Amino acid sequence: MTRESTDYLRRLKTALTGDPATPLAFLCNFEVETQWARHHVGLPAPAAAPTEVVLRMEELGLLLAGPGDVILVKNAPDQGYLRYLGEDLGIGLPAVLVPETTTGDRSTAEDLLSSPQALDRLSALGRRGARLIPMGTSEFEEKLAVSAQVPLAVPDAATFERVNSKIYSRRVTEELGLPPVPGWCCETLGELRHALAQAAGLPGPVVVKDAYGVSGKGLVVLDTAAKADRLVRLLERRAARTGHDRVALVVEHWIPKRADLNYQITIDRRGGVRLDFVKQALTERGVHQGHLMPAELSDDQHALLRRAAEEVGGRLAADGFFGVAGIDAIVADDERVYPVLEINARFNMSTYQGGLTERFLTPGHVALARHYPVRSAAPLVFDDLRRVLGPLLFPASGGRVIVTCFGTVNIGAGNTGTGDGTPHQGRLYTLLTAPDHDRLTALDGAVRAALAGVIQPREDS
């Protein structure tokens, strides 16, 4: 039987609207950080349109939204995947709204603004009390809220942009007296030169980050003086061309670490702060790969994170923010915790897992949220994947696999034709649960083995 909304979702609705039954229109706009970055000068990089993987990840909203809600997506979800979520997992699904006019080089909010029929449907939801809840607000989501007459459930674009800067994160950390990663904020080229000169006296490399860089992008590791000099010369040439030396960068000492952490807080409209969870973040060369739950921390380390959550949440509230914020932290090799590496005051990958872990993670068990590469010579439907994973999708003593996003599996398939023998590489997002770490590792290996090589679809798919 299909379940109702999770406690996790009801708490979120209460925090943002004051009513756990408020219908929400979810817009999982993972590309929003690129909109905030447009107003700031970071490291030299070409402008980029939203990638296909980013656009297809908006399907994750199916896991968070509940009955009575709607998710706004560029591409309709696979029907077999919807049956899996609703019938196999018992998730209460939202309605799905797809704009009638879409292009691959713009966001879903922009598509909706160009789709009168979808706007009319969204307006009807607004008249019934729905609120628009994007992952984060940019000017496009503001325009959508006005055009559809659906009020935002979260702050405006200016507030989101202000509190999502890495410069903001560093300054808040220092002002609150929390242990900061050694580093500097740089808003001019002169400040960058000074920071790099100071950093030269520290052992090991330093990293220069865009104030609005996204995961794995907008950063450069400097492990020699020559690399630092080259970066400065490059920025000097740009300053000569543009006529100004403004930058929005942070310089930080690269600290050897035992673990990356991610913890989430929810700030309600009255300024109350709730620590939702703490997870160990899995990263590779700065790129997010997944999460391990629970994080292995001592009582004192947990206490520091609880203190940081309360104080950072209070500061965000004082600065006009309410909603969900994910905070990145690290545990150094010496077990020292740096509780605020950066503040991501928006929905995060972890946000969409909250309802699933509430339903399926048994107390005392462990979980791994991660994605796997999927290579196929032609587009797949979910039922193809169901046959490949087979019994791994069902509860067993060794654990189970839950598919959290199927839409990303066929990334690039449109560029290879249909079944021409040239594999494309998509991503399968999952949540694995098991009684202990040994069985979780074995389950991870079983998924890798099942997905190894080129997966051939059915002849009639």
Could you tell me if 137 and 90 lie in one domain? yes
* Domain contains 171: no
**What pLDDT, on a 0 to 100 scale, did the predictor assign at position 5?**
80
CATH number for position 210? 3.30.1490.20
Cα 245–Cα 248–Cα 249 angle in degrees, nearest 5:
110
Element at 263 (helix H, strand E): strand 257-267
Regarding whether 238 and 272 lie in a shared domain, the answer is: no
At residue 105, the pLDDT reads 86
Report the CATH number that the domain containing residue 284 is assigned in CATH. Answer: 3.30.470.20
pLDDT at 443: 98
**Containing structural domain, residue 437:** 361-455
CA–CA separation, 388 and 114 (whole Å): 39
- Flag whether 172 is in a domain: no
User: Cα(339)–Cα(321) distance, rounded to whole angstroms?
Assistant: 20
Report yes or no on 2 lying in a domain: no
Residue 390 belongs to some domain of the structure: yes
What local confidence, expressed as pLDDT, does residue 460 receive?
A: 41
Q: 414 and 445: one domain? A: yes
Q: Does any domain span residue 392?
A: yes
Q: CA 300 to CA 97: how far, in whole Å?
A: 46
Q: Please tell me whether residues 240 and 274 are part of one structural domain.
A: no
Looking at the fold, whether 11 and 98 belong to one and the same domain comes out as: yes
**Whether residue 21 is found in the same domain as residue 134:** yes
Q: Looking at the structure, do residues 377 and 424 belong to the same domain, yes or no? A: yes
Q: Which of 253, 276, 308 is the last residue of a domain?
A: 253
Q: Last residue of some domain: 299, 318, 344?
A: 344
Hey, what long-range contacts does 108-111 have (CB within 8 A, 24 or more apart)? 108/27, 108/29, 108/55, 108/58, 108/72, 108/73, 108/74, 109/27, 109/29, 109/72, 109/134, 109/138, 109/140, 109/141, 109/143, 109/144, 110/140, 111/74
374 and 310 inside one domain: no
- Digitized pLDDT (tens) for each residue of the chain, 461 residues in all: 345 689 999 999 999 999 999 999 999 999 899 899 888 999 987 666 667 888 899 999 999 999 999 999 999 999 999 999 999 999 999 999 999 999 988 999 999 999 999 999 999 999 999 999 999 999 999 999 999 999 999 999 999 999 999 999 999 999 999 999 999 999 999 999 999 999 998 889 999 999 998 766 789 999 999 999 999 999 999 999 999 999 999 999 999 999 999 999 999 999 999 999 999 998 776 667 889 999 999 999 999 999 999 999 999 999 999 999 999 999 999 999 999 999 999 999 999 999 999 999 999 999 999 999 998 888 999 999 999 999 999 999 999 999 999 999 998 775 544 445 556 779 999 999 999 999 999 999 999 999 986 554 444 43
Whether a cis peptide bond, with omega within 30° of 0, leads into 182 is: no
Cβ(36)–Cβ(290) below 8 Å: no
Q: Looking at the domain assignment, is residue 156 inside a domain? A: yes
To which H or E segment does residue 113 belong? helix 108-113
CA distance 79 to 381: 9
**What tokens does 349 get?**
């990958």
pLDDT at residue 457 in the model: 45
How many residues can be counted in the chain? 461
Q: Is there a domain that residue 442 lies in?
A: yes
| pLDDT, position 7 | 95
Please tell me the total count of domains within the chain.
Answer: 4
Tokens, residue 167: 């410069």
- Does a structural domain hold residue 188? yes
Indicate the angle between helix axes 225-242 and 189-199, nearest 10 degrees: 180
Whole-angstrom distance, CA of residue 171 vs CA of residue 175: 6
- Domain of 410, CATH number, reads 3.30.1370
Which 3 state secondary structure label does DSSP give 98? coil
Residue 440 near residue 366 (C-beta atoms within 8 A): yes
Q: Are residues 337 and 378 in the same domain?
A: no
Asked whether residue 127 falls in the same domain as residue 13, the answer is yes
418 and 306 in a common domain: no
- Domain boundary residue, one of 194, 229, 253: 253
- Note the pLDDT of residue 459: 42
**Alpha helices (H) in 376-456, listed in sequence order:** 382-389, 437-451
Q: Are residues 367 and 448 in the same domain?
A: yes
